[in-house]
């Protein structure tokens, strides 16, 4: 095993992208993800790659579209307001079945909002980031190691399913440093016979396009695409179960909220309350099965979020509302404290949740 | 099983983040689990800078330090803001050159180190942070030259390798400092 080094989440992610074979980065600076761009600016020229600071987020995502059309691994990164600007491009990528990696290191919103951590772009990321019927694969890291690991995974999944993978991180994940090991066995990217690489007069033209004026055809494309989405739902769900064996109160949390919740669960267990957690790693596809299974044994779910109650809807859907699901949250750049989560667990226990 | 939560706080430019990174690497070399989280808000630009460092035998849960075991206060606003947050039985290190008041709490251990004065007396005006750090390690019984040097080599990039000796010297000055009574 290689020696572990301390890296910021943003930098570990950028290095992992390079290791995964990404040689093209387009972006526009915005706190708290600017280190991704800074790292790429430093590294890409040295390895024959492209770093380009675009004139806007919209330009950057369309450059991603261009490179992806040629079959190369490509990424862009931004934070919440910048991701909204990229929305049109995300829809076009989906409509053209192009793989790409998009990073959202979220900050408080809506509007220009603030620059402190947030998870309030959950709906935007998981329910389709723009117009039309489409999904992105949404990966939620909860450590610096996962910032790197899920970046590699994100590229692989994007190529495999011809979709956009989004890393949905937050300000803390981007800014914090933790020990990280960047040892990967990178598989070669799959063949991309659809890529516009030049016909050399030996094949038909490949056309990458999202325009389709014949409704019958456009319907067919949508249905075909959703068959691929079914495969993703079947094969690619990722989650972590923490102390769920005998849990009577189950926390649902991802990213920084899951880290905070672990402290609260440790303390709750010390006080004799059987608390556990299901941490979705893929937010789309959402880990419905473990939640549905847990609903047979736990007495209450608590969705811990840095948003006004977004993931809670998916928890309720997955558990078919069989047991109560409550919300424990802070917003606007604030982060729930372990004490606040512990209080929510104790409240649930008092209401008959535990023992 | 033990966990120590550090909060480093002071002005931007005092090397708060650097001292925190050094502490994190010191832990990593000692095969501990570590995390380092800086403040990155507008307060960094000319106001208070702070960083949370956790060194633990177990995987680190939340990287946010809200009840520090060890507070390193390098200016008055930081002491004013965080004194009450320190855990009972915790420790506060004060740069007594820049902070002229005493710590009011009596349920924490306090060490006053005139780090900024020692730094300028020794011709290393930018290394008050590392002088303080040396004192912290000494008090915590963690000062040994080997691991301290190893950690320095991690935080000082190859480009600045010539800064290694003076940082080590600063740490030693801090470690050897005895409070004047």
| Domain architecture of chain A: domains with CATH | 5-188+208-235 (3.40.50.970), 240-350 (3.40.50.920)
Which pLDDT score, from 0 to 100, does residue B40 have?
78
Mean pLDDT of B163-176: 96
Contact status of B76 with chain A (Cβ, < 8 Å): no
Residue B116 has φ and ψ, to the nearest 5°, of: -65, -40
Within chain B, how many helices (H) and strands (E) appear? Answer: 6, 6
| CA–CA dist B59, B47 (Å, integer) | 32
CATH topology of domain B3-176: Pyruvate-ferredoxin Oxidoreductase; domain 3 (3.40.920)
Nearest beta carbon to residue A179 from set B34, B42, B61: B34
pTM of the shown model: 0.95
β-strand partners of B4:
B55
Contact residues on chain A for B41, CB-CB shorter than 8 A: 115-116
Residues A311, A283 contacting (CB under 8 angstroms)? yes
Q: Is A6 in contact with B154 (Cβ distance < 8 A)?
A: yes
Q: Is A177 in contact with B35 (Cβ distance < 8 A)?
A: yes
Q: Is B62 in contact with A260 (Cβ distance < 8 A)?
A: yes
Determine the distance in angstroms separating the CA of A153 from the nearest CA of chain B, rounded to an integer.
23
Of B42, B39, B34, B36, residue with least CA distance to B50: B39
Encoding tokens for residue A235? 């094969």
For A172, which residue in chain B has the nearest alpha carbon? B37
Contact status of B139 with chain A (Cβ, < 8 Å): no
Q: Is A337 in contact with B34 (Cβ distance < 8 A)?
A: no
Which pLDDT score, from 0 to 100, does residue A128 have?
74
Strand-by-strand arrangement of the A325-329 sheet: A239-242, A275-280, A249-252, A300-305, A325-329
Contact residues on chain A for B24, CB-CB shorter than 8 A: 6, 177
Q: Domains of chain B: which residue ranges?
A: 3-176
DSSP state of A51: E
pLDDT digits (tens, 9 = 90+) for A231-248: 999 999 999 999 999 999
Which CB contacts under 8 angstroms, 24+ apart, belong to B25-31?
B25/A6, B25/B151, B25/B154, B25/B155, B26/B55, B26/B137, B26/B142, B26/B147, B26/B148, B26/B151, B27/B53, B27/B55, B28/A4, B28/A6, B28/A179, B28/B154, B29/B147, B29/B150, B29/B151, B29/B154, B30/B55, B30/B147
The least confident of A163-167, A348-352, B28-32 is A348-352
Mean pLDDT across chain B: 93
For B28, which residue in chain A has the nearest alpha carbon? A179
Which pLDDT score, from 0 to 100, does residue B12 have?
85
Which pLDDT score, from 0 to 100, does residue A1 have?
46
SS3 of residue A288 by DSSP: helix
Which pLDDT score, from 0 to 100, does residue B90 have?
98
Contact residues on chain A for B64, CB-CB shorter than 8 A: 172, 260, 335, 337
Pairing of strands B91-95, B70-73: parallel
What separation in angstroms does the CA of B16 have from each of A131, B57, B74, B158? 46, 24, 8, 21
Residue A96 neighbours by CB under 8 Å, 6+ apart? A65, A69, A208, A209, A210
The least confident of A53-57, A101-105, B38-42 is B38-42
Dihedral angle over CA of A173, A249, A340, A167, nearest 10: 20
């Amino acid at each position: 095993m290689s020696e572990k080094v301390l890296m910021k989440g943003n930098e570990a992610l950028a290095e992992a992208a390079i290791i995964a074979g990404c040689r093209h980065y387009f972006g526009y600076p915005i706190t708290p993800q600017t280190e991704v761009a800074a790292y790429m600016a430093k590294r890409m020229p040295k390895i024959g790659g492209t770093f380009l600071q675009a004139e806007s987020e919209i330009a950057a995502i369309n450059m991603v579209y261009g490179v992806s059309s040629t079959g190369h691994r490509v990424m862009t990164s931004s934070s919440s307001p910048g991701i909204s600007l990229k929305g049109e491009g995300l829809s076009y990528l989906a409509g053209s079945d192009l793989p790409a990696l998009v990073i959202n290191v979220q900050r408080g919103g809506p509007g220009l909002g603030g620059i402190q951590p947030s998870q309030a772009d959950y709906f935007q990321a998981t329910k389709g980031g723009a117009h039309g019927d489409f999904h992105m694969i949404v990966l939620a890291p909860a450590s610096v190691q996962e910032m790197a690991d899920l970046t590699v995974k994100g590229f692989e999944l994007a190529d495999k399913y011809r979709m956009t993978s989004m890393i949905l991180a937050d300000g803390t994940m981007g800014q914090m440093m933790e020990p990280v090991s960047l040892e990967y066995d990178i598989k070669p990217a799959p063949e991309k016979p659809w890529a516009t690489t030049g016909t050399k007069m030996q094949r038909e033209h490949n056309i990458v396009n999202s325009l389709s004026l014949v409704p019958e055809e456009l319907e067919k494309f949508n249905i075909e695409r959703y068959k691929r989405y079914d495969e993703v739902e079947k094969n690619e769900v990722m989650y972590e179960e923490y102390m769920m064996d005998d849990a009577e109160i189950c926390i649902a949390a991802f990213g920084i909220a899951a880290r905070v919740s672990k402290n609260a669960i440790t303390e709750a267990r010390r006080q004799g309350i059987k608390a556990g957690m299901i941490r979705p790693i893929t937010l789309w596809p959402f880990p419905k099965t473990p939640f549905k299974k847990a609903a047979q044994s736990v007495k209450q779910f608590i969705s811990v979020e840095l948003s006004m109650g977004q993931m809670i809807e998916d928890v309720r859907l997955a558990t078919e509302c069989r047991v109560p699901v409550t919300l424990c949250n802070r917003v606007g750049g604030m982060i729930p404290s372990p004490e606040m989560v512990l209080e929510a667990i104790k409240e649930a226990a008092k209401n008959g949740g535990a023992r | 099983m033990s966990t120590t939560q550090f909060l480093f706080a002071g002005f931007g430019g005092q090397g708060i983040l650097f001292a925190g990174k050094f502490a994190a690497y010191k832990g990593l070399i000692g095969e501990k689990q570590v995390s380092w989280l800086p403040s990155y808000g507008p307060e960094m630009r000319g106001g208070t800078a702070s960083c949370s460092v956790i060194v633990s035998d177990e995987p680190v849960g939340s990287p946010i330090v809200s009840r520090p075991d060890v507070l390193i206060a390098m200016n008055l606003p930081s002491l004013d803001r965080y004194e009450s947050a320190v855990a009972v039985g915790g420790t506060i290190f004060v740069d007594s050159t820049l902070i002229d008041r005493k710590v009011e709490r009596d349920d924490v251990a306090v060490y006053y180190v005139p780090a900024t004065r020692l730094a300028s007396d020794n011709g290393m005006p930018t290394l008050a942070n590392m002088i303080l750090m040396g004192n912290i390690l000494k008090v915590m019984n963690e000062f040994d030259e080997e691991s301290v040097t190893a950690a320095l080599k991690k935080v000082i990039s190859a480009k600045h390798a010539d800064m290694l000796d003076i940082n080590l010297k600063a740490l030693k000055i801090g470690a050897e400092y005895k409070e004047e009574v």
